[in-house]
A = this chain, B = another copy of it.
Amino acid sequence: MRTNDLPQMRSLPLFESMSESNFETLMKAAYLQTFPAQLDLITEGDPADFLYIVTEGCVELYARSNGRETTMAMVRPVGTFILAAVLKDAVYLMSARTVQKSRILLIPSQNVRAAFEHDEAFARAIVQELASCYRGVVKEHKSLKLRTAVERLANRLLRYHSEQGATGSLELPYDKRTIASLLGMTPENLSRAFNTLKPFGVDVDGSLVRLNDLDGLTTLAKPNALIDDRGT
């Protein structure tokens, strides 16, 4: 890695509390690379050779079975992926590809595990990150099992809305087909779900969504902190 990239990496939550010497050792083994859009980074079933940390851009985690494919999560800066596989020295359960041109830090698995052993602060940060990932999937799973497609969409819109400053409108952060897959439905069904939400003040124009009846939409969505709140 280039020396002048080091300070930026050092300030990432995962590294900021670890000792200088352990950080240097870890970074000597790491690669910081920029990948173009739509590039496959890893494939499910492959052994976990690297931990990935997205510093710029966006990565889609997806999975396949039978002939079907589904989006499992989107990773934005500064998020990691495939941490559990690295820690367990197991195969990846998900595939990953860039959505946009992305800058990604790759750390060889064995170095991550070594740093975990030798640096208590790093171990603590790793565990916090892993616990957050775990709770994220649990929330997704609850959403899928406890809500209809329209409810999932309504709550997702409310989430984007508040993340983007609650201005009354929001920008969809991904293609609609990606959002559909994230929410566990087909693109056709997403279209129809948007139509179902029209009477609740949801106006869609491309990737711009206006929410003209927040109260009504909220009543329908019944948001639940234990599903919809991030980072808790």
Interfacial chain B residues near A134, Cβ < 8 Å: 84, 130, 133-134, 137
Which residues of A in the span 43-76 have a Cβ within 8 Å of any Cβ on B? 44-45, 63-66, 68-70, 72
A15 within 8 A of B: no
Task: Tell me which of A64, A87, A222 has the highest count of chain B C-beta atoms within 10 A of its own C-beta.
Answer: A87
Interface majority SS on A: helix, strand, loop or mixed?
helix
A25 within 8 A of B: no
Q: From residue A101, how far is it (CB to closest CB) to chain B in Å?
A: 27
Interfacial chain B residues near A85, Cβ < 8 Å: 135
Q: From residue A95, how far is it (CB to closest CB) to chain B in Å?
A: 10
In the assembled complex, the Cα of A45 lies from the Cα of B90 at a distance in Å of 32
Q: Give how many A residues have a beta carbon under 8 Å from the other chain's beta carbons.
A: 51
Interfacial chain B residues near A91, Cβ < 8 Å: 226, 232
Q: Are A90 and B135 in contact (CB under 8 A)?
A: yes
Q: Are B144 and A88 in contact (CB under 8 A)?
A: no
In the assembled complex, the Cα of A3 lies from the Cα of B138 at a distance in Å of 37
In the assembled complex, the Cα of A132 lies from the Cα of B134 at a distance in Å of 10
Interfacial chain B residues near A133, Cβ < 8 Å: 134
Measured CB to CB, the nearest residue on chain B to A155 is B65
Q: From residue A192, how far is it (CB to closest CB) to chain B in Å?
A: 19
A124 within 8 A of B: yes
Contact of A145 among B88, B117, B184, B232 (CB under 8 A): B184
Q: Are B144 and A232 in contact (CB under 8 A)?
A: no
In the assembled complex, the Cα of A70 lies from the Cα of B83 at a distance in Å of 28
Are A88 and B146 also in contact (CB < 8 A) when A138-B94, A227-B65 are?
Answer: no
A42 within 8 A of B: no
Contact of A70 among B45, B68, B142, B151 (CB under 8 A): B142
* Residues of chain A at the chain B interface (Cβ within 8 Å): 44-45, 63-66, 68-70, 72, 83-85, 87-88, 90-91, 93-94, 116-117, 120, 123-124, 126-128, 130-135, 137-142, 144-147, 151, 184, 222, 224-227, 232
Shortest 4 CB-CB contacts between residues of A and residues of B? A84-B131, A65-B146, A70-B145, A134-B134
